Structure 1
Amino acid sequence: MEILDKEQQLERLYATTPVYEWELIINPDHSRTKTTYGIFLVLVLIGWITLFFLRDSTGLIVAGIFTLNAIILSPWYRYLLNADKRHYYAINKYGMYSTSEQIIPEIAYTIVRRSAWVGCAICVFAAIFIGPMAFVGAGGAALMSFTMTNFRSVPYKNQCLFDGYAKLLNFREEDYTLCSHNSMAGCKLIIPQEKLVPIIEVIKQYNDTFEEEFMDIYKDAKFQARPIILEIVR
């Protein structure tokens, strides 16, 4: 029997037809709207506090920069950084794999990239004509703008190869991780309650040993980005 290395096993995993698959649309952070308002208010407040202490053209420009940042960064955080995500999961006899990607139209990425270049130019000119004080607001904005010039969708892949032993860790409602001896980091899963039993049965089918464990790792967490299932596609 031919022994495959890790890369070959992963190729085989992704090339094999799934025995069971499901797809979800997720809100990745239930508090994203509140955080968006918080970002907006903090940036505007910093800008106008600066204007209170610098009651001249410099203070006005700095306040304007912070206000512009608030107007741009708040929707960027809510509708781009924390956009709804599409999660796809598949199980076959060799293991499980998943892909996740933000649900954002390509035109939005194009607009962000072009706007970022404009933002870079504005921040640089502000720093040149105002002086060092402009870096209080323009420096952070310029850094963020340069970061967004290559903004694009990057699908995230994750997998867990079966090796005869599988362990399903449950951290909270609908939040799981599937581990094996060779994949202790595991494959993170979001499993709707109505799909849990058939998924477990399929995993058991391809492993000699199967275990379940509940780990309440969020018990003492005051702030946590809890994902919410918006739609079960299939």
Structure 2
Amino acid sequence: MSETTEQPQNAEADGVNHYYSDQYLELQKEPVLYEWHIDHAPRAAWSSSLLMGGVCWLIALMVFINSDSQNPWPLIWVLLILGVWGVIFSRYLTDPNQLYHYRMTAKGIYYTQQDKIPEVAYTIARGIGGLLIVGSIIAVGLVGPLALAGAGAGAFLAFKITNMKPRVFHSGCQFKGFGGLSIFRDVYGIKIIEMPRETGQYGIVLTHKEDYERVLNDLARSLPDYQITEAKSRKEFGY
């Protein structure tokens, strides 16, 4: 197991927000049997990103059709660029790939989860967000009140990214009680659900193809009272 420097719960270190669960802190004391890393793309990441950009493009189309101004192009260009930026912002900053680091122990499994976003991306995003809102405000003066919709969209994006910081979640799931294992082989995923759900633990385990059967067998052996069900779709699996 590689050494890591842990921070107090909800502490902020090096510009990163860390969040620790009690299960993670407990399982961290146990010897690690094996560990692995995985880079995972969220479900429907691109569709939600395109929807965000599509709102700006729809407003641009409405401006083009309904504008009383003889020169609506400054606002239209702002909205078109804002839409492209919205797609990039949403896919790579709001809904980016997730990096997981799993550690299997005899008493449970614990892991870290963080966004796959380099620090430089936050700096660039803040700068572009500021430029977009300035451009939207200028467009209001050039085109008129209809441009307020674009300015509002720019303000929303700028507000969202001004204080963005990387977040790292440290979670764990101990082997105890009874519940279920939901599996979905298409993404090599296993969901641990302890009953009752109101007080039980929950964990999501994602693996590489070559590790899947090993991890599933170890979980099934460690949780003999858990019922194993196989999801028929990613939507049913819920991740």
Structure-1-length-normalised TM-score: 0.72
Kept in 2: contact 1:40–1:71 (CA 8 A): yes
For residue 200 of structure 1, what is the aligned residue in structure 2? Answer: 216
Structure 2: give runs of 5+ residues left out of the alignment: 1-20
C-alpha separation in 2, matches of 1:59 and 1:8:
56
The 5 Å alignment of 1:76-87 reads: 76-87=89-100
**Partner residue of 2:4?**
none
The yes-or-no answer on 1:13 pairing with 2:27 is yes
Matching of residues 77-116 of structure 1 within 5 Å: 77-116=90-129
Equivalent residue number for residue 230 of structure 1: none
Shift of the 132–141 alpha-carbon distance from structure 1 to 2, 3 Å rule, reads same
Give the Cα separation in 1 of the matches to 2:107 and 2:57: 53
In the TM superposition, 1:56-205 aligns within 5 A as 56=69, 59-127=72-140, 131-165=144-178, 167-171=180-184, 173=186, 174-181=188-195, 184=200, 186-204=202-220
**Relative contact order higher in (CA < 8 Å, ≥ 6 apart):** 1
Q: 1:90 to 1:155 in 2, by over 3 A?
A: same
Q: 1:166 to 1:31 in 2, by over 3 A?
A: closer
- Deviation readout 1:65-101 (Å, 9 max, x if unpaired): 2112123222223333343332222221332122222
- For residue 177 of structure 1, report the CA deviation from its aligned partner: 0.3
Q: Secondary structure at the match of 2:72?
A: helix
Deviation at 1:124, TM superposition (A): 4.2
Please identify, of 167-176 and 147-156, the stretch whose mean Cα deviation from structure 2 is larger.
167-176
User: How far apart in 2 are the matches of 1:92 and 1:166?
Assistant: 19
Equivalent position amino acid for 1:24 in 2: I
Residues of 1 paired with 2:43 and 2:226: CA distance?
31
CA deviations 1:203-228 (Å, max 9, x no partner) are 35544534322243657x8xx997xx
Distance 1:225 1:179 in 2: 12
Inter-CA distance 70–181: structure 2 relative to 1 (3 Å threshold) = closer
Q: How many percent identity over aligned positions?
A: 20
**TM-score, with structure 2 as normaliser:** 0.71
Whole-Å separation in 2 of the counterparts to 1:217 and 1:35: 19
* Deviation for aligned residue 1:130: 5.4
- State the one-letter code of the partner of 1:59: P
Give the CA RMSD over aligned residues: 3.4
Distance in 2 between residues matched to 1:210 and 1:71, nearest whole Å:
46
Paired amino acid for 1:209: D
Aligned length: 216
CA distance in 2, matches of 1:164, 1:19: 22
Structure 1: state its 5+ residue gaps: 1-6, 227-234
Cα distance per residue 1:145-185 (max 9 Å; x no partner):
11111123212333212225463211452232013347646
Decide whether aligned partners of structure 1 residues 225 and 36 sit closer, same or farther in structure 2, where only a CA change above 3 A counts. farther
Shift of 1:107: 0.9
Asked if structure 1 preserves the Cα contact closer than 8 Å seen for 2:112 and 2:170, the reply is yes
Q: Which of 120-129 and 13-22 deviates more?
A: 120-129
